[in-house]
A and B are shown apart, each in its own frame.
Chain A
Amino acid sequence: MASASSSKVPAASPNTPPDSCDVLVYGTGLVESIVAAALAWQGTNVLHLDPNPFYGGLWASLNLEELKAWTDKINSPATNDTPFSNAYLYISRNLDPRKYAIDISPHVLFTRADLLNLLIQSRVSRYLEFKPLGSFHTFEQDSFEKVPGTKEDIFTSQNLTLLTKRSLMRFMKFVVIWDETPDVWLEYKGKPISLFLKEKFNLDEPQIVELVHSIALLSSPSSPTELALDRIKRYLSSMQVYGNFPAMYSMYGSGGEIAQGFCRSAAVAGAVYRLGTKLSSFDDESGVAVLDNGEKIKVTEKLITSYGLLPSSREITRMVAVVEKDCKEWFAEGESAAIVVFPPETLDGNKYAVQALVLGSGSGQVPLGQAVWYLSTQESGEQGRKDLFLALEKMEESILRESTEDFEFDVSEEDIAYLPNGMPVVSSVRLGESLRNFTPKESLKYLLKLTYTQKVTVPPPQPGSKTIYVPAPSIDIVYDGVVTRAQAIYEGVTGTTEDFFEVDFEDEDDDATATGNPPDTSIGDVADIDDEELGDHPDFDEEVAGEMTI
């Protein structure tokens, strides 16, 4: 468990575990923890173990001490039950290990995701804190372009032609109802999305790249049309649900934190927890589980495990870098996160897109003045590492240029647009041009660098077996599929998904959830304005007060 975490987790039970249980869940990753909570609330007698001393399993957020131990472990030839391997870790001296929470499988959440609905329905969301993520950038022609993901972005964009603006808007209006209008796309089913966008909507290469890689977060331009449309809709329909951003992330760590929330919920419903406890063996016939201290537990129904050697189809490559820069240049106003995508063929012939999630200190994962960059690619081996290092280099160049203060550039009045609060912003095209010709003198300090590979595992079908395997987190930076997987496992145990989290939470005020809609935070916030906030309003104080003497 990450020490930076603020959430309270049930203390692992010091008591001896019961000598029998209905379901033994082994591993406290996100999927298993959702299943454990769902089963516990349904009335199943759940024992939940994890061999690690922290929660989160393959989804954990680790402090630096835990991270060192974790890399040693996955590198050890004796370890054969984890999909991770091949870790190279550098940590700068004199860092306070407890001030960091490094995700080993970082994820973000679109506001229309099924996981968010489940978090609200199960009330686990109250154990967590979420922050907005509105900045999506695409690496194009050696600079980072902000993705035009809304009507307002398209309207104010200074690098789109009038006809492109029209085509993009037509596409965006279509894509939110794409599943109801098959006549438009059916002939492109299974064909590359890039072909569809070009032929049906007259979109040009740069817009296709942004839609496919940054908005849909797909790795390859030849992804099937129907998948890409679904992904693009996911982004667009997630805008304006809670505010001017499509995605969010949980503070102090991603999947591991959410998993802890579900564990806490499961414990409230009566599940028993024990961390740092290894399962030595499990007899599928008799259902007898033996723990590393020799204790024997009779499992009457199922063993659900995320550990063990699963068959794997391929490998993906991941990288983590902590830098001594706040990286606020990449974040939207008031935010502390951004996604940067390097499309294929932008990094010396990379075949797959490289995705980078950037989190600032507002995420609670790194101290003030620092940021953590999570990079990943579907490419494996040396090529995968090469792609990631090239992307890292580009990010380094970009942040040094953008954060330099003694940099002057020429802009005329037409290059300046205004934000809603009246703050002027400079057109990114013009800025990009000026920036490309600029060489910063400063260099970037890396406080931590970590690369590792991860196997994409496929659980084998186990007809008639007591054991259910949980696959490792996917390469996807988004939690999609997690709830579906948890439901499938739940069904494997109970035979139905009908009562999945069908919980009548007693002595709770129903008002907030009665309508099924999450409370509208943006309206609520404004409704709470008081005189003090009035006094702080920048629109007035900066622009008017100076000129006025009343």
Chain B
Amino acid sequence: MHSVKRVRTSAEAQAAKKRKEAGKIVEYKALVDKVFTGRDAGDLSLNALHLTTTLLKQNPEYYTVWNYRREILVSLFKSLSTEEIISTIESELEFLFSRLREFPKCYWIWNHRKWCLTTSPKPNYKYELKLVTLMLERDARNFHGWQYRRAVVASIEKMMKHPGALDKSEFAYTTAKINNNFSNFSAWHNRTKLIPRMLIDDPDLDGRELLKKEIHLITQAIYTDPDDQSVWLYHRWLVTSNDIVKLSTDERVELLHQEIKSIDELLVVEPDSKWCLHSLAFYKNFLATITNSPVDPSVLEYLDRLAEIDPMRRKRYQDWKAQITNTAD
């Protein structure tokens, strides 16, 4: 989870903990040896599967063991009926849910879950959507969850043979998550994936109108918290990419002027805002590039100011400045 402070334990407590753990480590090492002896011997039995269960409960990051587990399952499935395969995968999913609750950010659990669904003769994606909704309720910024959600939604739409069937509800879902806490790179990112798809799925959707609404939304977020990097990133996607509407150079220039003006107004009340200065420098630079004209001299001032208020990246701003001056020469 984000912003949870690590609790430091005293040296004494650490020593006591170490003694306690020593026994566990011996047991764990023995278990690892046993699992790998089995794997080397080509053991694909049910017993070998149970051993991987025990080991993965302790260490879900051991991806080799997940691979081995899949080898065992594939081999077992050969001798099972379809019904039996379905029920085996169901208990597999149950096991994975308990692991996800404990380790919501472990790649290999999510990966194994995807494999289960694609392997199952009768995948229940409906259930998966509910599951990932709950996982994102627990932590709305878990990018594993968002990625999994996109995969699940795509599978559901594929099964329905109706591309875009969930576009509207997914868009509303992303909006709700953003309204709940907009400091969420993953939710904004989901929008950048979803919006272009919505425009393909629904030819009646007006891209220009949508772009206008999105810019209105992100401006609210920028003014609410200009220190949040995630909102600026989404803003940049809206202002510079052609993913929503293919703008002509004139239209793009107009949009850039409009947004530069809006950020300028914010800079008046927040003269020390790093992301304000940064975005102004970026957009004015971008404007010069697409219009083939010299960079506005104010950009150099922004970069000087940035080097002052953000000394950790001073050299970077200086380098940026040097690039602009060199091009001008």
Say how far B226's CB is from chain A's closest CB, in angstroms: 8
Q: How far is the CA of A411 from the CA of B279 in the complex (A)?
A: 36
Contact A420 to B177, CB < 8 A, known contacts A154-B224, A534-B134: yes
- Interface flags for B169-185 (1: CB within 8 Å of A; 0: not) read 10011011101111000
- Pair A539/B270 contact, Cβ less than 8 Å: no
- Pair A540/B130 contact, Cβ less than 8 Å: yes
Q: How far is the CA of A419 from the CA of B180 in the complex (A)?
A: 8
A residues less than 8 Å from B165 (CB atoms): 547-548
Q: How far is the CA of A351 from the CA of B319 in the complex (A)?
A: 62
Q: Give the interface segment out of B72-80, B194-202, B215-223.
A: B215-223
Contact of A534 among B131, B156, B177, B180 (CB under 8 A): B131
Contact A421 to B176, CB < 8 A, known contacts A534-B130, A537-B130, A540-B130: yes
Interface residues of A, count at CB 8 A: 36
Interface status of B26 (Cβ within 8 A of chain A): no
Say how far A231's CB is from chain B's closest CB, in angstroms: 23
Q: Give the interface segment out of B51-59, B121-129, B247-255.
A: B121-129
Interface status of B316 (Cβ within 8 A of chain A): no
B residues less than 8 Å from A417 (CB atoms): 179
- Pair A550/B159 contact, Cβ less than 8 Å: yes
Q: How far is the CA of A310 from the CA of B182 in the complex (A)?
A: 54
Say how far A162's CB is from chain B's closest CB, in angstroms: 4
Say how far A164's CB is from chain B's closest CB, in angstroms: 9
Interface status of A78 (Cβ within 8 A of chain B): no
- Pair B126/A545 contact, Cβ less than 8 Å: yes
Which of chain A's residues has its CB closest to B174's CB?
A: A418
Say how far A58's CB is from chain B's closest CB, in angstroms: 42
B residues less than 8 Å from A540 (CB atoms): 126, 129-130, 133
Contact A422 to B169, CB < 8 A, known contacts A151-B225, A162-B219, A527-B101: yes
Interface status of A6 (Cβ within 8 A of chain B): no
- Pair A526/B138 contact, Cβ less than 8 Å: yes
- Pair B221/A155 contact, Cβ less than 8 Å: yes
B residues less than 8 Å from A154 (CB atoms): 224
Interface status of A206 (Cβ within 8 A of chain B): no
- Pair B160/A422 contact, Cβ less than 8 Å: no
Q: How far is the CA of A321 from the CA of B290 in the complex (A)?
A: 68
- Pair B269/A166 contact, Cβ less than 8 Å: yes
Within 8 A of B (CB), among A264-278: none
B residues less than 8 Å from A421 (CB atoms): 176
Interface status of B266 (Cβ within 8 A of chain A): yes
Q: How far is the CA of A534 from the CA of B129 in the complex (A)?
A: 10
Q: How far is the CA of A420 from the CA of B175 in the complex (A)?
A: 8
Q: How far is the CA of A152 from the CA of B182 in the complex (A)?
A: 8
Interface residues of B, count at CB 8 A: 38
Contact of B180 among A152, A163, A165, A515 (CB under 8 A): A152
Interface status of B33 (Cβ within 8 A of chain A): no
Interface status of B166 (Cβ within 8 A of chain A): yes
Interface status of B206 (Cβ within 8 A of chain A): no
- Pair B224/A155 contact, Cβ less than 8 Å: yes
Say how far B232's CB is from chain A's closest CB, in angstroms: 15
Interface status of A549 (Cβ within 8 A of chain B): yes
A residues less than 8 Å from B269 (CB atoms): 163, 166-167, 170
B residues less than 8 Å from A535 (CB atoms): 130
Interface status of A390 (Cβ within 8 A of chain B): no
- Pair A166/B126 contact, Cβ less than 8 Å: no
Interface status of B296 (Cβ within 8 A of chain A): no
A residues less than 8 Å from B180 (CB atoms): 152, 420
Q: How far is the CA of A417 from the CA of B159 in the complex (A)?
A: 31
Interface status of B137 (Cβ within 8 A of chain A): yes
Contact A162 to B130, CB < 8 A, known contacts A526-B138, A548-B165, A550-B159: no
- Interface flags for B186-197 (1: CB within 8 Å of A; 0: not) read 000000000000
- Pair A544/B176 contact, Cβ less than 8 Å: no
Interface status of A169 (Cβ within 8 A of chain B): yes
Contact A418 to B175, CB < 8 A, known contacts A527-B101, A549-B160: yes
Which of chain B's residues has its CB closest to A161's CB?
A: B223
Say how far A413's CB is from chain B's closest CB, in angstroms: 10
Which of chain A's residues has its CB closest to B102's CB?
A: A527
A residues less than 8 Å from B166 (CB atoms): 544
Say how far B197's CB is from chain A's closest CB, in angstroms: 17
Interface status of A156 (Cβ within 8 A of chain B): yes
Contact of A526 among B131, B134, B221, B265 (CB under 8 A): B134
Within 8 A of B (CB), among A411-441: 417-422
Within 8 A of B (CB), among A507-550: 515, 523, 526-527, 529, 533-535, 537, 539-540, 543-545, 547-550
Q: How far is the CA of A422 from the CA of B172 in the complex (A)?
A: 6
- Pair A169/B225 contact, Cβ less than 8 Å: yes
A residues less than 8 Å from B137 (CB atoms): 420, 526
- Pair A550/B160 contact, Cβ less than 8 Å: yes
A residues less than 8 Å from B133 (CB atoms): 537, 539-540
Say how far B225's CB is from chain A's closest CB, in angstroms: 6
B residues less than 8 Å from A152 (CB atoms): 179-182
B residues less than 8 Å from A544 (CB atoms): 126, 129, 166, 169
Within 8 A of B (CB), among A101-159: 151-152, 154-156
Most A C-beta atoms less than 10 A away, residue of B101, B224, B270: B224
A residues less than 8 Å from B127 (CB atoms): 534
A residues less than 8 Å from B224 (CB atoms): 151, 154-155, 165-166, 169
- Pair A165/B220 contact, Cβ less than 8 Å: yes
Q: How far is the CA of A163 from the CA of B220 in the complex (A)?
A: 10
- Pair B176/A162 contact, Cβ less than 8 Å: no
Q: How far is the CA of A166 from the CA of B226 in the complex (A)?
A: 9
Q: How far is the CA of A166 from the CA of B271 in the complex (A)?
A: 13
Which of chain B's residues has its CB closest to A413's CB?
A: B213
B residues less than 8 Å from A534 (CB atoms): 127, 130-131, 134
Q: How far is the CA of A162 from the CA of B263 in the complex (A)?
A: 11
Say how far A207's CB is from chain B's closest CB, in angstroms: 14
Q: How far is the CA of A166 from the CA of B126 in the complex (A)?
A: 41
Q: How far is the CA of A540 from the CA of B166 in the complex (A)?
A: 11
Q: How far is the CA of A424 from the CA of B294 in the complex (A)?
A: 48
- Pair A418/B129 contact, Cβ less than 8 Å: no
Q: How far is the CA of A162 from the CA of B262 in the complex (A)?
A: 10
Contact of A420 among B131, B179, B223 (CB under 8 A): B179
B residues less than 8 Å from A548 (CB atoms): 126, 156, 160, 165
- Pair B160/A543 contact, Cβ less than 8 Å: no
- Interface flags for B128-172 (1: CB within 8 Å of A; 0: not) read 011101100110000000000000000010011000011001001
Say how far A418's CB is from chain B's closest CB, in angstroms: 4
B residues less than 8 Å from A156 (CB atoms): 179, 220
Which of chain B's residues has its CB closest to A544's CB?
A: B169
Mind listing 17 A-B residue pairs with CB under 8 Å?
A: A151-B181, A151-B224, A162-B219, A163-B265, A165-B224, A166-B223, A166-B266, A166-B269, A418-B175, A420-B180, A523-B138, A529-B134, A533-B134, A534-B130, A534-B134, A548-B126, A550-B160
Additional A-B contact list (13), CB under 8 Å, known A539-B133, A540-B133, A549-B160: A152-B182, A163-B223, A163-B265, A166-B270, A419-B176, A420-B177, A420-B179, A421-B176, A526-B138, A535-B130, A540-B130, A544-B169, A550-B156
Q: Which 10 A-B pairs have the closest CB atoms?
A: A418-B176, A162-B223, A543-B169, A155-B224, A420-B180, A165-B223, A526-B138, A534-B130, A166-B223, A540-B130
